[in-house]
Structure 1
Amino acid sequence: MAETEREMLPTDCAIIHEIYDNGDAQEQFEYELEQALEAGRSIIIIEPSRLGDETARWITVGNCLHKTAVLAGMACLVSPWMLPAKATNFVSIPFGTASVACATLYGVSWQFDPCCKYQVEYDTRSLARLPLHTLTTATPVVLVRREDKYRKTLHNVIAGLAAIYLTYKFYHWCAQ
């Protein structure tokens, strides 16, 4: 690595280089990514397009589950105050169920995955600070570590409140 490249790289950055030096290159790329994720690197640059695309999709699905849990939970909790009483159940129950299901699926599949602590970086100003011109690919996937404690707390609280609301509704239906 050239001296100027070292100066430009953040100290806690990992680059998964696309070097095919043996028959198990894809497995080697995955191993290097897993090591970087487990080490908690602040920035991970993935050159191999297949691995980068798979990782970006995995993060996108996790983000979608999180956002769905939050938005559906909010719709469930707000609908009793915003809609007529006859329409409330048709909105709050499906949205509440979706919120609880998404939060549960996220908790089971993503919560303990080290990849959930990362987001794909798309900001060109942030990307311009990285030495991407030294890579062998023109379209690397850049992962940036972000604190997700508040994000997880938000969707768990909202999904929990939606679950309490659903339990309350079903209790009233059974009690009648």
Structure 2
Amino acid sequence: MAAWGRRRGVTGSRERIVSSTDCYIVHEIYNGENAQEQFEYELEQALEAQYKYIVIEPTRIGDETARWVAVGNCLHKTAVLSGSACLLTPLSLPQEYSRYIALPAGALSVACAALYGISWQFDPCCKYQVEYDTYKLSRLPLHTLTTSTPVVLVRKDDIHRKRLHNTIVLAALAYCVKKIYELYVV
């Protein structure tokens, strides 16, 4: 259907360019010896202003930010997957063997969730993901940049992701506490 509209010369609303109020660009302009600190300050201001898109032109800060987001994603996914393994292992393995997988998986889930909660929960960067989709990147005003490899952050609503994360981790914690109580107290 979209191809038909393009052949007839009709432009769709999906071809829209992102407005300048939705996008903030941290430009790589060196003026003074504190340029790196200025870039970091600009990024912090853009994160706190909650722009939909943040384009980071300075390579060092962009790479650091992309790694920070990747580590947060890894902790989140590890907590969810190991918590799920903790909860599903007793359903799939015999009772006498399941605790050898479920308890370490539950402990890993709780540890990752605690680290995520301490390090990332209050960081404004946790609301952003690195954008790799070339179609979405083509809608951004990247033609004004001096670098060919900027890091582009997109703000995502993560309320459902955090609810899933917390629910699975709390269930895994409850299971582990119950199992430890059964093994050592009873």
Fold match, TM over 0.5?
yes
Moved over 3 A (4+): none
Rounded Cα–Cα distance in structure 2 between residues aligned with 1:15 and 1:8: 15
Instruction: Name the residue aligned to 2:59.
Output: 49
Instruction: Name the residue aligned to 2:50.
Output: 40
Instruction: Name the residue aligned to 1:161.
Output: 171
1:125 to 130, 135, 138: 135
Higher Cα Rg, which structure: 2
Instruction: Name the residue aligned to 1:4.
Output: none
Rounded Cα–Cα distance in structure 2 between residues aligned with 1:54 and 1:66: 18
TM-score (norm 2): 0.89
Tell me which amino acid in the other structure corresponds to 1:151. R
1:170 to 153, 156, 180: 180
Identity of matched residues, %? 63
Rounded Cα–Cα distance in structure 2 between residues aligned with 1:133 and 1:90: 55
Q: Deviations over 1:109-158 (max 9, x none)?
A: 00000000000000000001112122000000000000111111111110
Tell me which amino acid in the other structure corresponds to 1:121. E
| Unpaired runs of at least 5, structure 1 | 1-6
TM-score (norm 1): 0.94
Rounded Cα–Cα distance in structure 2 between residues aligned with 1:60 and 1:175: 40
Tell me which amino acid in the other structure corresponds to 1:159. V
Rounded Cα–Cα distance in structure 2 between residues aligned with 1:22 and 1:163: 51
Rounded Cα–Cα distance in structure 1 between residues aligned with 2:167 and 2:18: 38
Tell me which amino acid in the other structure corresponds to 1:78. L
Rounded Cα–Cα distance in structure 2 between residues aligned with 1:108 and 1:120: 21
Rounded Cα–Cα distance in structure 1 between residues aligned with 2:127 and 2:25: 17
Instruction: Name the residue aligned to 2:92.
Output: 82
Rounded Cα–Cα distance in structure 2 between residues aligned with 1:66 and 1:82: 24
Rounded Cα–Cα distance in structure 1 between residues aligned with 2:166 and 2:114: 9
How far did residue 84 of structure 1 move? 1.6
| Unpaired runs of at least 5, structure 2 | 1-15
How far did residue 86 of structure 1 move? 2.2
Q: Deviations over 1:18-48 (max 9, x none)?
A: 0001100000000000000001011000000
Q: Deviations over 1:67-91 (max 9, x none)?
A: 0000000000000001122220111
Instruction: Name the residue aligned to 1:14.
Output: 24
Once the two structures are superposed, the pairs formed by residues 106-121 of structure 1 within 5 Å of their partners are 106-121=116-131
Instruction: Name the residue aligned to 1:29.
Output: 39
Rounded Cα–Cα distance in structure 1 between residues aligned with 2:74 and 2:110: 14
Work out the number of aligned pairs and report it.
170
Rounded Cα–Cα distance in structure 1 between residues aligned with 2:38 and 2:18: 22
